Amino acid sequence: METIYLDHAAATPVNPKALQAMMPYFQEDFYNPSAPYLPAKHVREAYEDAKSELAHVIGAKGTDLVITSGATESINLAFTAVSSYDNASSGKQGKILILATEHTAVIEAAKIYPHATIAVNRQGMIDLKDLRTQLDDDVVLVSVSLANNELGSTQPLAEIARILRDERSVRLARGLKTPLYLHSDASQALGLIDISVARLGVDLLTLNAAKCGGPKGIGALYVGHGIKLQSISRGGGQERGLRSGTENVPGMIGFATAARESHDHLTYHRKQYQEMAQLLRRELAHIPIISQDSEKVKHKPLPEPVFLGNPQHQLANFVPVSFPGIDAERLIYKLEEKGVLVSTGAACAANKGTKSHVLSAIGLSDAEIAGSLRISLGSTNTLDQIKRAIDIITSIIEAEYRRCFSRGYGATASTSAPALRRQALATRPEQNSADTPQCGGDNA
């Protein structure tokens, strides 16, 4: 049975060219880049060249990047900009504003500091009026993701940056020297949007290799000039003393290659995704309920699917959709049985079985949240695959609605999602609950 992978927002397969570029640095050029002999110096050069290549993709220089273990570490490092500021005049600690729909890594990192959340509308777009209202004198950092990991909603960062520039000017005119930085988690957007740090107006930008065809376990943080951060990993002083530890050379080579490849083919892939996404939306919007033997089922009104986010401000490969009244957790296990892999949202929330804070923030009802799927496309998908996936998805959804209606609309199916999960694991002797990956986050 063919597996159709439609969860590229969680992780992408490593780009073949990236994998090929990485291979020599596992055995042939394995040297520690800090060692003094010539072969190690060549490895150092390759590492720095890869940093420059990655930086070029976002319109920066290699010296602007700090390489980390992933987006989560990059976010935590970025937020130390608040710790580096000491408001001696007021005695108050710097404050952070984050979007209500931010990734869990941002939410948890912000909890270390005084913080508040910025409201969003039902499509997941930032409420700029609320941002302006909350920009008091203690705010040092505003964190808004370039693209949301559950909705694919893209935020107007350039407009947000303009608001912050205006606020800085007002502060200076009043004699206040409190800095004000803009951080963005661009993990989900790299390879899907043409990113320029200058055009976006960001001071700090988080990147993640695993979302653009690179290897897992490596990320980067762009740091604008003059921004002071505090190390959260002490040791040998690598990465300007901000992230000590022997450099992940193969990972850096793979990251840079994947980022360049995805950037070079951005327009081509975006057109592919748009065609596939349009087909998915069109077909999923009209799923018939056909009853052969039950007038009760036949005449029940079918809840219309709710497509989430704003297609005009959304990553081209995202099709987040809710089927109110259906248990989406049960649905993903049914789809897995047929070879279609999708998710109910962020990987960490799905693994914990918790309700999505993102979907709650945009005002979805409990029924809409419970019935939500995140379909995310990737470069390995074909139009034929999408057509087959549509046939499978529609048939299972139709069957699930029939089941619900036959038991009374909204009734719980006879076999729960956790029970289905246990059945699935039981068919895989090599996997058990202890092997199930713990939450590292979609961006981790």
- 219-223 vs 204-208, strand pairing mode: antiparallel
Per the DSSP assignment, residues forming a β-bridge with 64 are none
3-state secondary structure of 147: strand
HEC profile of the chain: CCCEECECCCCCCCCHHHHHHHCHHHHCCCCCCCCCCHHHHHHHHHHHHHHHHHHHHCCCCHHHEEEECCHHHHHHHHCHHHHCCECCCCCCECEEEEECCCCHHHHHHHCCCCEEEECECCCCCECHHHHHHHCCCCEEEEECCCECCCCCEECCHHHHHHHHHHHHHHHHHCCCCCCCEEEEECCCCECCECCCHHHHCCCEEEEEHHHCCCCCCCEEEEECCCCCCCCCCCCCCCHHHCCCCCCCHHHHHHHHHHHHHHHHCHHHHHHHHHHHHHHHHHHHCCCCCCCCCCHHHHCCCCCCCEECCCHHHECCCEEEEECCCCCHHHHHHHHHHCCEECECCCHHHHHHCCCCHHHHHCCCCHHHHHCEEEEECCCCCCHHHHHHHHHHHHHHHHHHHHHHHHCCCCCCCCCCHHHHHHHHHHCCCCCCHHHCCCCCCCCC
Residue 348 known to be catalytic: yes
Question: What is the Cα–Cα distance from 118 to 120, expressed in whole angstroms?
Answer: 7
How far apart are alpha carbons 46 and 174 in whole angstroms? 48
Please give the biggest Cα pair distance in the chain: 81
CA distance 109 to 202: 19
Look at strands 372-376 and 318-322 and give their pairing.
antiparallel
Provide Rg for the chain, Cα atoms. Answer: 23
Cβ atoms of residues 207 and 74 within 8 Å: yes
The residues annotated as belonging to the active site are 348
